[in-house]
Amino acid sequence: MSTMSMIDWIIVAIYFGGLCGIVYWSAQKQQTTADYFLAGRHAAWYVVGASLFASNIGSEHIVGLAGQGAASGMAMAHWELHAWVMILLAWVFVPFYYKSGVFTMPEFLERRFDSRTRWVLTLVSLLAYVLTKVSVTVYAGALVFMTLLPDTFGTPENAFWVGAITTVLLTGVYTVFGGLRAVMYTEVAQALVLLLGSIFITIIGLGQLGGWDELRAMASENADNFALWRPLSTGDPDVPWYANGDFPWLGILIASPVIGIWYWCTDQYIIQRTLAAKNLKEARRGALFGGFLKVWPVLIFLVPGLIGWALHEKGLMLIPTKDGGIDGDQVFATMVTSLLPEGMRGLVVAGLLSALMSSLASLFNSCATLFTVDIYEKLRPGMTEKHLVFVGRIATVCVVGAGLMWIPIMYNMAGGGIYKYLQAVQGYLAPPITAVFLLGLFWKRTTAQGAFLGLLIGVALGVVKLCIEAYADNVGFEPGFMANLARFNFLYYSGALLIISVTIVVTVSFFTKPASEEQIAGITYPTLSAEDKKEIRESWDKYDIILTLIVGGLVLSMYLYFSFWLG
């Protein structure tokens, strides 16, 4: 295994020097909340699209996806082919969000329903960001340090903690001073470096292995573990049907779209990028461009994991082991140090670190926006723009602190498979939020009481499942109902949560008074005015249609190929 050379570190230093220049430039332009939280609403479509991609593809994607590729083949590809959901974002959701002029998704829910739904979504979002996204991203980045610099700080464990703390603090600094403008414009550079570095890994890894046909042949010998679509049953008579296998095809069909719509169409972390666009046309086109970029992680992040597994099996590369098998979460970093030549290694390390910082910066800024706009401004109305920007920076510092405090807990919880862990947690939080947004937009009879109860009860049931699983993993249950509930497949439970949430919202809405036509004018499909429809129609042209067809065609092609790639 090679180590980082002086040339590698020089490349890393040059790259981060450039980022500092962008942050300094951005810090001079933070005067209002629109500047700090939405980049002044001046972002072009390519900035929006690159920011969407870079915000999504963080270190947990690079590290976690490669690990899942090595452990479970193409199973996680369904989440990475959510580019089709970004088409929904561009054509269905963005027009409502952008026309409403909101800063946050909870603010949008308040306009559609009432302040209670806004408070619930705000608190759930903040809790989820700190306990899942921030912690998982930091953990993944720290693993990269532990693999790349195992002896630099004495021991691999020391490298883990140094890497975690350093990157969180540095990212917090440039988010505090730069705001969303710094986050978005640095992400344009990060997206390019990220793509180039991962493409190098894929090409060189395939060359070492002997080509794509060799990878297919080796994966075909393990088709049960590496196929895109998995059977409902593992054939184990001692395991209840609902817990059989990690990724049954029916569970994928149910849960993957629910999580995708929540993440890409309702999550503040993502939507904030589209709201920063200079107009509706740029916002839509940015979402479509982001969808085009989203297609490729299957090939440049997931496939390298398969390549790493194959290289390890052939004895061409040694991956650290854990619990009797390879440690999937160290596959990508091991490939960097084992396969890449001097110089290129530094570029890919810069990409890995930039991915970590990109995701964290986006999370910090989104958390600051949620706290400032949805909590602080509601409790203390009438504050000046300058004061709110200051509060946003303080909120970011608090999120940084919370992320640091959660690292030791996350270190003990995430023993491996961090990407699967992340999707499972999101699968428990996403269904009620997805249900409330979809019903709120498309069914004008949805009432504030129905939305509030559906959201509150759905989230509570998701948190209960999380607590039961955590207890089962650490303490354990006697055989019976609680043990079976703990083992209930996260994909099926996600579907059950969606059904329960929809049922509650619909039932309560039928027995409570709906909002008047005037109250919901322009923020549901049935209440769009003729002027609204004309404005939306004039915001797109043939190029948006062509880009939509390209994205949809790429997703379909990927599904067709990988559904049958193992023969």
Instruction: Name residue 56's amino acid.
Output: N
Confidence of residue 456 (pLDDT cuts 50, 70, 90): very high
In the predicted structure, residue 13 carries a pLDDT above the cut 70? yes
Q: How far apart are alpha carbons 230 and 248 in whole angstroms?
A: 5
Q: What is the pLDDT of residue 386?
A: 78
What homologous superfamily is domain 6-563 in, according to CATH?
Sodium/glucose cotransporter (1.20.1730.10)
CB 90 within 8 A of CB 284: yes
CB 498 within 8 A of CB 434: yes
- The pLDDT tens digits for 545-559 are 999 999 999 999 999
Token couple for 227: 């196929």
Token couple for 359: 């995701």
Would you give the DSSP letter of residue 230?
B
Percentage of the chain beyond pLDDT 90 is 22
Q: Report, in this order, helix, strand and coil percent for the chain, each rounded to 5.
A: 75, 0, 20
Q: Provide long-range contacts, Cβ within 8 A and 24+ apart, for 539-543.
A: 539/95, 539/279, 539/280, 539/281, 539/284, 540/281, 540/284, 543/285
Percentage of the chain beyond pLDDT 70 is 82
Q: Where are the domains of the chain?
A: 6-563
- The pLDDT tens digits for 41-91 are 567 888 888 878 877 776 677 778 888 888 888 988 998 899 999 999 999
Q: How far apart are alpha carbons 262 and 411 in whole angstroms?
A: 27
Q: How many CA atoms lie within 13 A of 155 on its CB side?
A: 3
More confident position, 76 or 392? 76
Average pLDDT of the chain to the nearest whole number? 80
Q: What are phi and psi of 28, to 5 degrees?
A: -75, -10
Q: How far apart are alpha carbons 100 and 102 in whole angstroms?
A: 6
- The pLDDT tens digits for 326-370 are 777 778 888 887 888 888 888 777 777 766 776 677 677 677 777
Q: How far apart are alpha carbons 183 and 39 in whole angstroms?
A: 9
**Angle at the Cα of 405 (from 154 to 15), degrees rounded to 5?**
60
Entry pTM: 0.84
- The pLDDT tens digits for 297-331 are 888 888 988 999 999 888 888 887 776 677 777 78
Token couple for 23: 């942050």
In the predicted structure, residue 38 carries a pLDDT above the cut 50? no
Q: How far apart are alpha carbons 269 and 359 in whole angstroms?
A: 9
Q: What is the pLDDT of residue 34?
A: 47
DSSP characters over 324-384: TEE-GGGHHHHHHHHHPPTTHHHHHHHHHHHHHHHHHHHHHHHHHHHHIIIIIHHHSTT--
Question: Of 326, 374, 289, which Cα lies nearest the Cα of 118?
Answer: 374
Confidence of residue 37 (pLDDT cuts 50, 70, 90): very low
Q: What is the pLDDT of residue 557?
A: 96
Tokens 């710094």 belong to residue: 182
Q: What is the pLDDT of residue 567?
A: 67
Angle between helices 418-442 and 135-148 (to 10 degrees): 150
Token couple for 351: 């990409």
Three-class SS string for 267-336? CHHHHHHHHCECCHHHHHHHHHHHHHHHCCHHHHHHHHHHHHHHHHHCCCCCCCEECCEECHHHHHHHHH
In the predicted structure, residue 240 carries a pLDDT above the cut 50? no
Rg (CA), the chain: 23
Token couple for 106: 């909870």
Q: How far apart are alpha carbons 60 and 56 in whole angstroms?
A: 9
